[in-house]
Structure 1
Amino acid sequence: MMRSTPLTRRAVLRTLASLPVLGLPCANAALAKPTRYMLDPRASSVGFVFTLSGTAQRGTMPVKRADILIDPQNLTASTVDVLVDVSRAKTGLFFATQAMTGADVLNAARYPDIRFVSTRVQLGASGRISEGARITGDLTVRGVTRPITLEATLYRRPGSRADDLSQLNIRLRGDISRSAFGASGYSDLVTDTVTLDIQATINQTG
Structure 2
Amino acid sequence: MTGLTRRILLAGLASLSVAHPTHAATTRYELVPEGTSVDFTFDISGLAQSGTMPIQSADIQIDLSNLANSTVSVTLNAAEARTRLPFARSAMLGQGVLDVEQFPTIQFVSTEVQLGEGGRISRGATITGDLTLRGVTRPITLQADLFRPPGSDAANLDMLSIRLTGALNRHDFGASGYTDLVQDTVGLDIKAEIKRAE
**TM-score w.r.t. structure 2 length?**
0.89
Secondary structure in structure 2 of the residue aligned to 1:10: coil
d(CA) in 2 for partners of 1:67, 1:98: 30
Post-superposition offset of 1:9: 5.0
Aligned-partner Cα distance in 1 for 2:9–2:124: 12
Name the amino acid aligned to 1:49: T
Give the Å deviation of 1:94: 0.3
Mapped partners of 1:97, 1:42: distance in 2 = 23
Match of 2:113 among 121, 137, 145: 121
Give the counterpart of 2:79 among 87, 94, 98. 87
Equivalent-residue separation in structure 2 for 1:10 and 1:125 (angstroms): 10
Amino acid at match of 2:9: P
How many residues in Structure 1 have an aligned counterpart in Structure 2? 189
Identity %: 54
User: Equivalent residue for 1:102?
Assistant: 94
**Alignment-mate amino acid for residue 166 of structure 1:** D
- The superposition leaves residues 128-172 of structure 1 with CA deviations (integer Å, 9 ceiling, x where unpaired) of 212211000000001110001000000111211111111111011
Report the alpha carbon displacement of residue 39 of structure 1 after superposing the two structures with TM.
Answer: 1.0
Q: Distance in 2 between matches of 1:161 and 1:125?
A: 22
**1:10 maps onto 2:2 in alignment:** no
- List gaps (5 residues or longer) in structure 1: 14-28
Aligned pairs for 1:1-206 (under 5 A) are 4=5, 5-6=8-9, 9-12=13-16, 33-206=25-198
Name the CA distance, whole Å, in 2 between partners of 1:205 and 1:198: 21
Letter in 2 for 1:44: T
CA distance in 2, matches of 1:91, 1:110: 20
Runs of 4 or more, structure 1, over 4 Å off, are none
Unaligned segments of structure 2, at least 5 residues: none
Q: What SS does the corresponding residue of 1:87 show, helix, strand or coil?
A: helix
Normalised by the length of structure 1, the TM-score is: 0.86
Quote the RMSD (CA, aligned, Å).
1.8
